[in-house]
Amino acid sequence: MKVDVILGLQWGDEGKGKLVDVICPSYPIIARFQGGPNAGHSLVIHGKKMVLNTIPSGIFRNGSTNVAGSGMVLNPVGMLREIKQLESLGIPVKERLVLSRRAHLILPTHPLLDSALEQVKGDDKIGSTLKGIGPAYSDKTARQGIRLGDLDNGRLEPNFREQIARHTNELMRFGADLSQLDTLCDEWMRSLDEIATYTRTDTEFYLNNELDRGVPILAEGAQGTLLDLEFGSYPFVTSSHTTVAGVCSGLGVAPHRIGKVMGIFKAYCTRVGSGPFPTELNNETGEFLRQTGHEFGATTGRPRRCGWIDLPALRYAIMLNGVTDLIMTKADVLSELTEIGVCTHYRTSAGQTSHLPADLEGVEPVFRMIPGWHHSLTESTSEDSLPPQLLHYIDLLEEELNRPIRIVSVGPDRRQTIHRG
Ligand code: GDP
Ligand code: IMO
Ligand code: MG
């Protein structure tokens, strides 16, 4: 059996949570492979919106097993809060959640360091979610991180004290306010004690054994390809590997075990935080997309920057991930527009290109305008009910991207999903 993957092709928030929830009945196991509480994955369950940060989006499905893989960074405080909220809704999280012993822990000082580092950067700040992601992955790379499995070897408490002392020195140099640190550390330790009562295991063995037994697995990406540490719009990226390579390194599965790679994108484009965004619309159309698409961060509430779809960026993301199937979301948000812009290529100082350059500064998008559909999509449940102009848009994208769009999502609800052949 294989690991099928669903991951974002843009700058995150493509609708991964909704789509994992829609397709996960075919997968007994759903596994997150990277990132942490910087993610905000929204699902609408019986008309109620839920946002998941750390827990995989299969958690609502009966009989599912949801794995927080070794490539993730976990904050016990936030994770426990998320778990308690799910349990209060009657979700048996203890039965459905498995945590990797290799996953790294976000310490109470990591978010403080994240804020301090952002402040120092001033106008050049990344616009991070301030969840401590960068500092936690930096400690992992510097080989001084603390892992969930350290609960089992007696090293957790001494290492914790050592790391907090080191971080405190660093924070003092930044002049950070440390008045709440003791309280934060107590809360962190108490939360970790409770998290320790949930299943933790060597998930790389668990996942490979399940594949050997014929159980299909769905890997759920967080963030998006353009936020990837290696191939995103560096330095305005996150600190993990958001591409399909991250599935292998973050779950411990070999490349030949990867099956379908489902790349998800919005019918337009958004970005939250700083960094280049060639197709951004700083005008009333951008504002229209933000308001109509409710483009405000699921984790931080920040307004998302909005713009037209960017085909060079999508082609690049498809190439990097070996995408086999496309999923398009939020076509309904474009319904009232007379014209829709499609960036087909860029103009750069070196001439025209349909490739995404390593440095996006100074890149100018070239748009083709196509007619809108003036037709509400939110009640559409099959391809026959889609307006011809939208079908034309889908054909154009399939031709330009050279991949089939297998699913078109026309609203946040599970039911608002059109499966195509
Ligand atoms: P994720 O991070 O990729 O899971 O995406 P987010 O949950 O951060 O942002 C996507 C937002 O769009 C959420 O509010 C979803 O409920 C919503 N959404 C998902 N698919 C659709 C869609 O097809 N149409 C509309 N209008 N909203 C959608
Ligand atoms: P989901 O999984 C959108 C962005 C932040 C910032 C940059 C670095 O919901 O799609 P970080 O806190 O990771 O150090 O921030 O990455 N970012 C996201 N943008 N969706 C996300 O996750 C994001 N996670 C991080 O805004 O620009
Ligand atoms: Mg999100």
Ligand nearest to the CA of 49: 1
Helix (H, G, I), strand (E, B) or coil at 414: coil
For 345-360, write each residue's pLDDT tens digit: 999 988 999 999 999 9
- What pLDDT is attached to residue 135? 98
Q: Which listed CATH number (3.40.190.10, 1.10.357.10, 1.10.4160.10, 1.10.300.10) goes with 106-195?
A: 1.10.300.10
Distance 373 CA to ligand 2 centre (A): 32
Residue with CA closest to ligand 1 atom 1: 13
- 194 forms beta bridges with none
- What pLDDT is attached to residue 267? 98
For 73-83, write each residue's pLDDT tens digit: 999 999 999 99
Q: Which of 42, 57, 226, 418 to mutate to test the pocket of ligand 1 (most atoms within 8 A of CB)?
A: 42
Distance 333 CA to ligand 2 centre (A): 22
Could you identify the atom of ligand 2 that is nearest to the CA of residue 129?
Answer: 12
Q: Is the bond leading into 108 cis (omega within 30 degrees of zero)?
A: no
Distance 254 CA to ligand 2 centre (A): 27
User: CB-side exposure of 403: number of CA atoms within 13 Å?
Assistant: 25
- What pLDDT is attached to residue 350? 87
Q: Rounded distance, CA 386 to CA 116, Å?
A: 49
Ligand nearest to the CA of 6: 1
Could you identify the atom of ligand 2 that is nearest to the CA of residue 300?
Answer: 26
Of 168, 211, 191, whose CA–CA distance to 3 is shortest? Answer: 211
Question: Could you tell me the pTM of the whole model?
Answer: 0.97
Annotated catalytic residues are 13, 41
Residue ranges covered by each domain of the chain: 3-103+200-261, 106-195, 265-419
Residue with CA closest to ligand 2 atom 27: 273
For 13-25, write each residue's pLDDT tens digit: 999 999 999 999 9
Asked: is 3-103+200-261 a CATH 3.40.50.880 domain? The reply is no
For 126-154, write each residue's pLDDT tens digit: 999 999 999 999 999 999 999 999 999 99
Distance 297 CA to ligand 3 centre (A): 7
User: Token pair of 64, please?
Assistant: 């599912």
Residue 335 has pLDDT above 80, yes or no: yes
Q: Rounded distance, CA 254 to CA 421, Å?
A: 29
Q: Of 3-7, 154-158, 296-300, 417-421, give the range with the top mean pLDDT.
A: 3-7
Q: Is the CB of 91 under 6 A from ligand 2?
A: no
Q: Is the CB of 40 under 6 A from ligand 2?
A: yes
CA pseudo-torsion sign 49, 52, 57, 60: negative
Sequence-distant (≥ 6) Cβ neighbours of residue 14 within 8 angstroms? 8, 224, 264, 265, 266, 329
- What pLDDT is attached to residue 298? 82
Q: How confident is the model at residue 178 (pLDDT cuts 50, 70, 90)?
A: very high
Sequence-distant (≥ 6) Cβ neighbours of residue 269 within 8 angstroms? 10, 11, 277, 279, 306, 307, 308, 309, 310, 313
Query: Looking at the domain 265-419, which fold is it?
Result: Adenylosuccinate Synthetase; Chain A, domain 3 (3.90.170)
Distance 36 CA to ligand 3 centre (A): 12
For 283-324, write each residue's pLDDT tens digit: 999 999 999 999 998 888 899 999 999 999 999 999 999 999
Average pLDDT, the chain: 96
The beta-strand segments (E) located in 47-109 are 48-52, 65-68, 73-74, 97-100, 104-105
Q: Is the CB of 304 under 6 A from ligand 1?
A: no
